[in-house]
Structure 1
Amino acid sequence: MDENRSQIKITNRIFIDEDDLEESFIRSAGPGGQNVNKVSTAVQLRFFAARAGLPDDVLARLLKLAGQRGTKDGDVLIEASRFRTQERNREDARERMVALIAKAAEPPPPPRKKTRPTKGSIERRLKVKAGRSDVKKMRGRVKGD
């Protein structure tokens, strides 16, 4: 690995280069008065996932998890505008991107195996049902002899 380029650690095996990230600063939407209208504090972070060299399975899971934030070109866009400062929004966008990639790096859980109830548990359930049925039948009108 080249020492000149800085990298972001995702997991023990997965690192992403700073070169694969692109930041642009935009104006935040919504309430906030003059600060929002004048200052470009919101961050739009673009991660070039397709060219980042991620393993194929991780890339596929990342684009699936990204949903609407993923593009046809294999990029992932994160917008951060929760905070008033550009620097804090920048950190927030990077944290969210790292969390998304880390979640994609986790292997999917094994498929669930269908199980059937045991014969004994079925018999016990039916016995309880019959008992409840008898109790409810006893609540009916009393028939004269």
Structure 2
Amino acid sequence: MSRIAVTPRISLEESELVEEFLRASGAGGQNIQKVETAVQLRFDIARSPSLPEAVRERLLRLGGRRVTKDGVLVITAQRHRTQDRNREDARERLLALIREAAIPPPPPRRPTRPTLGSRERRLEGKAKRGDVKRLRGRPERD
């Protein structure tokens, strides 16, 4: 079986992807009504041996409404006129989603207090700005 490279550390087995072809909806005349060009790609996130646990959890969250209760991600592609292009589109969208899930979230920011020096510099800047504005006013009379 062949493997599909997602990231340098993650690759999927070809057998983990289930493709089903169906008729696309919308305008398109005879081609749409007769030819099954749309692709429905299914990927079982919950049972995939290729995904690390952290990536699996993030992918389930990122999938949103496209993930079934059983943890299966369903991607439907029908943008293009040919089955091959829609198949490529669905696979590329799946890989993009997995790549996004593979990026670990940044650590939470720890709130810090401003240093004494930074507070003094801020106040000096405000004082200078106030002086500039005061000097713009009318001159005082003697």
Q: TM-score range by the shorter chain?
A: 0.7 to 0.9
1:101-132 deviation per Cα after TM superposition (whole angstroms, max 9, x unaligned): 23222333333343443322321221121222
- Once the two structures are superposed, residues 69-124 of structure 1 have per-residue CA deviations (whole angstroms, 9 ceiling, x without a partner) of 11211011111122111011101111221222232223333333434433223212
> How many residues end up aligned between the 2 structures?
141
Q: Among residues 113, 118, 122, which one is paired with 1:121 in the alignment?
A: 118
Distance in 2 (alpha carbons) for counterparts of 1:110 and 1:124: 29
User: Cα RMSD over matched residues?
Assistant: 2.3
Q: TM-score, normalised by structure 1?
A: 0.79
Aligned equivalent of 1:110, options 107, 110, 115: 107
Give matches, 1:67-86, under 5 Å.
67-86=64-83
Report the CA distance between 1:141 and its aligned residue: 4.8
SS in 2 for 1:61: helix
Q: Does 1:37 align with 2:22?
A: no
Q: How far off is 1:11 after superposition?
A: 3.2
Secondary structure at 2:62's aligned position in 1?
helix
1:24 aligns with 20
Deviation at 1:18, TM superposition (A): 2.7
Match of 2:86 in 1: 89
Matched-pair contact (CA < 8 Å) for 1:65–1:104? yes
Q: Secondary structure at the match of 2:79?
A: coil
Q: TM-score, normalization: structure 2? A: 0.81
Gaps in structure 2 of 5+ consecutive residues: none
Distance change in 2, residues 1:131/1:48 (3 Å): same
Structure 1 alignment gaps of length 5 or more: none
- Which residue matches 2:95? 98
Taking only the aligned residue pairs, the percentage that are identical comes to 60
| Matching of residue 9 in structure 1 with residue 15 in structure 2 | no
